[in-house]
Amino acid sequence: MTDSIELGCPGDFHVHLRDGDMKNLVTPTIREGGVSVVYVMPNLVPPLIDPEVVLEYKKSLQKLSPKTTFLMSLYLSPKITPEVVEQAKKAGITGIKCYPAGVTTNSDHGVSSYEPFYPTFAAMEKHNMILNLHGECPSGHGIHVLNAEEKFLPTLKDLHQRFPKLRIILEHCTSEAAINAVLECGDNVAATITAHHLYLIVDNWGGNAHNFCKPVAKLPADRDALIKAATSGNPKFFFGSDSAPHPVKNKAKASGAAAGVFTQAYAIPYVAEVFEQVGKLDYLKGFVTDFGKKFYGISDDDLVDKSTVTLVKSTQVVETSLTSAALTDGDAVIPFRAGEKLKWSVTWS
């Protein structure tokens, strides 16, 4: 029986670190969760559309977690012209995140139509910047939260066909249909899979706002397809937690509860447990360490700190809440599977 696993320098290629008090609370948990390098989402309020502001934001994150490597992104908006793409590339920004308008937290400034952005996508292709897609169509006209991702897949395929050299990531994919679409595309299309979507189905978020996120967790067959893809050893699929902290007061609401599951502080242990359940621990390092860095073109030489993670078979209990003196109203963030036992723990060396 395996009781320790060398993971090298793992990556989490989809994190929400927020701003202000919440940033202070969650940024240090990246390393607690066993992650060395993160790709940071730009959906702050206001969204990150200015490369200079992104660099300032990165500095503040680096201060909070000096050993973490932060890869940064811009928020796709009409302000992101081909000139801004070039400027962003020069500033060391890695990619651009595209939110359809209105589908998730702070997506009000998102995209309604993709065509106006073709020149931007062409510039990204030229400058080798990653396009991160939140792959959902807004609800209405027969589209609902359960088929919103599937309805987006023709757009994914269309963008891939128009910009075949553009590296595209379908973020936090949740459905069997999405897995199949990514498999059908060429090598420049990959997908991230979260920890929580390896656990959850539709039953788990009704009346349970802590498990409610966008895209929503779907049917058992979809979850099984995600587990199969994540543990397949196919480098098109790699880890992006979409860890999305919200204060309890925005979760414990009878209407309008915020969407997002907080997994940062236990990211790798959550994933390891699923890999172990299906007897695929051998493929864990590929999913959490190798494939994401390869797609992003990162080597360990690029990391600000080269400490490595060993996952050890040692039970830990998920905290029932993360608190911070800095969070207003004494509010807290409740992690995924709060209070439950995890079989694996993280050590750094």
Which are the catalytic amino acids?
14, 16, 97, 134, 172, 242
Q: What is the DSSP string of 152-186?
A: HHHHHHHHHHHSTTS-EEETT--SHHHHHHHHHS-
Nearer to its own copies, 12 or 136 (CB): 136
Report the distance separating Cα 223 and Cα 153, nearest Å.
18
145 is a contact residue toward its own copies (CB under 8 A): yes
The nearest distance, CB 202 to its own copies, in angstroms, is 6
Choosing from 220, 302, 304, 323, the residue that interacts with its own copies (CB under 8 A) is: 220
What minimum distance in Å lies between the beta carbon of 114 and its own copies? 23
Binding positions for its own copies, 253-292, rule CB under 8 A: 253-259
Spatial distance between the Cα atoms of 164 and 314, rounded to a whole number of angstroms: 45
In the complex, minimum distance from the CB of residue 56 to its own copies, in angstroms, rounded to a whole number: 32
Q: According to CB under 8 A, which one of 122, 219, 278, 303 is a site residue for its own copies?
A: 219
Q: Is 325 in the site for its own copies (CB under 8 A)?
A: no
Using CA atoms, how far apart are residues 222 and 228, in angstroms rounded to an integer? 10
Identify which of residues 55 and 146 has a Cβ nearer to its own copies in the complex: 146
Q: Decide if residue 53 touches its own copies (CB under 8 A).
A: no
Q: Does 212 bind its own copies (CB under 8 A)?
A: yes
- The yes or no reply on residue 210 touching its own copies (CB under 8 A) is yes
The CB-of-220 to its own copies minimum distance in angstroms stands at: 6
* Bond into 245 cis (ω within 30): no
Tokens standing for 178? 């999405």
% helix / strand / coil in the chain, to the nearest 5?
35, 20, 45
Shortest reach from residue 286's CB to its own copies, in Å: 29
User: ∠62-65-71 over CA atoms, to 5°?
Assistant: 50
Stretch that binds its own copies, among 17-25, 59-67, 246-254, 323-331 (CB under 8 A): 246-254
Does 203 bind its own copies (CB under 8 A)? Our answer is yes
Integer Cα distance of 264 and 245 in angstroms: 9
Stretch that binds its own copies, among 247-255, 261-269, 279-287, 304-312 (CB under 8 A): 247-255
Name the residue among 77, 116, 112 with its Cα closest to residue 97: 77
Q: Considering the rule CB under 8 A, would residue 144 count as an interface residue with its own copies?
A: yes
Shortest Å distance, C-beta 255 to its own copies = 5
- Residue 345, both tokens: 């723990």
Q: Could you give the CA distance from residue 5 to residue 61 in angstroms, rounded to a whole number?
A: 28
Return the beta strands (E) in the chain as ranges.
4-8, 11-15, 37-40, 69-75, 95-98, 130-133, 168-170, 189-193, 237-239, 309-317, 322-323, 332-333, 341-348
Nearer Cβ to its own copies (292/335): 335
Q: Is 22 in the site for its own copies (CB under 8 A)?
A: no
- Regarding 252 and contact with its own copies (CB under 8 A), the answer is yes
Cβ(5)–Cβ(313) below 8 Å: no
Nearer to its own copies, 86 or 319 (CB): 319
Which residues of this protein are in contact with its own copies, per CB under 8 A? Answer: 139, 142, 144-146, 201-203, 205-212, 216, 219-220, 248, 251-259, 334
